[in-house]
Amino acid sequence: MPRLPASPSRRRFVQGSAAAAIAPFFIGRSARAGEEAEFTMKIATAAPNDTPWMNQMKGLKALMWEGSNKRLKVKPFAGAALGPEPETVDGVKRGAIQCYGGSVSALASAVPEIACLELPYLFKTEKKADKIIDSIFPDLDALLWDRGFKLFFFSENGFRSIGSTFPINSIADLKGRKMRSQESQEHLDTWKAFGASPVPIAVTEVLPALQTGVVDGFDNTPLFAFAASWYQGISHFTLTEHIYQPGIVVLSRKWYETLPAEIQALFTGKLPAPPVGTKGSPDVDEPGADGHGFVSQQELSKAGRRGVRAIKGQLLENFKTAGITVNELSDTDKAAFSSSAAVAHAQFAVRASAEGRALFKKITDAL
């Protein structure tokens, strides 16, 4: 399989662009080894190191340490170091882990209603996804609270496309192919709607599965395909862009309720920001949601999305550098994918709870 050399220049680009996009929030000193903290927050994520997503998780260390007057220490764990996503979601709900940052579909293992956010071809553009997800933030916050979580903020993984060991020029090319899938029912239904045979595989096992022929491909974003080294197991990347995948950061409600009010406030828009106009001030139009120098949840979301989007174009070029064919579908072929995906929407509506159907309707009405 073609491999992209892990050149210093490529690493510098990915890391540098990501850091430039989100760094203004994270100027400050985080806890040093050996410094005592009254509270500790472990963040479990499947995101690899040196990605915009992981850089933002690490950046929270400084924000929380300074904002809590050195009472709260943040410890991010990358690359599913605390276990597969569904297991860490369960750990957060039980209070064994304080924070989860990752895909909505994994969180849906505990809150199935929110799986509708990752239905295929639901969001056509990033702008539309941002607007609607931000507009239903209060609804999601209330739903997650009832299920044992506290919503912190959204980021994103981006639009998922298909990496494969074979060319894909139309939906017919997927018929009978074994494709790695996330464990969620919505992702399994999507692959079946495309005619493929989905194989649920944990993030850490995907590359070996590709290299040994257990699966013929996967779907994910260019960013994740490179960060997790999955690109090493494919020869083609087809821009179906069939699922927009938000990133979500949630806290354990059980843990959150043990915190004093002044620490809780850090998670609801009271993270202190440097003064506007000074080095390290937030890269936003306003100093904060309330205009008084605080970083809001919405601003954290904007920073995370900006970091991911800043490097999207370069990552597609990296596929080509690696000898991987990047295929852009014709409008007709992409429409065939979109039309087939309607089956997955109908299946969600049938099995969803009343809350899930109401949330889905609110989204589709807005669209």
- On the question of pLDDT at 139 being above 50, the answer is yes
Q: How many CA atoms lie within 13 A of 41 on its CB side?
A: 34
42, 78 contact by CB (below 8 A): no
Interval 144-155: pLDDT, tens: 999 999 999 999
Interval 282-301: pLDDT, tens: 343 333 444 445 678 888 99
Spatial distance between the Cα atoms of 311 and 157, rounded to a whole number of angstroms: 12
Looking at residues 107-125, what average pLDDT do you find? 95
40 membership: H or E segment, kind and range: strand 39-44
Conformation bin of residue 249: beta by default, left when phi > 0, alpha when psi is -120 to 50: beta
Pick the most confident of 48-62, 121-135, 273-287: 121-135
Q: What tokens were used for 4?
A: 């992209």
End-to-end CA distance of the chain: 41
187, 118 contact by CB (below 8 A): yes
**pLDDT given at position 161:** 98
**pLDDT given at position 273:** 62
**Residue burial 2-34, b: 16+ Cβ < 10 Å; e: rest:** eebeeeeebeebbbebbbebbbbbbbbebbeee
Percent of the chain at pLDDT > 90 equals: 67
pLDDT-based confidence at residue 33 (cuts at 50, 70, 90): low
**pLDDT given at position 10:** 41
**Mean pLDDT lowest for which of 143-157, 251-265, 305-319?**
305-319
**pLDDT given at position 52:** 83
Percent of the chain at pLDDT > 70 equals: 84
What phi and psi, each to the nearest 5 degrees, are found at residue 49? -65, 165
**pLDDT given at position 271:** 73
- On the question of pLDDT at 249 being above 60, the answer is yes
- On the question of pLDDT at 7 being above 70, the answer is no
* Residue-range domains of the chain with CATH: 8-157+247-309 (3.40.190.170), 161-244+312-366 (3.40.190.170)
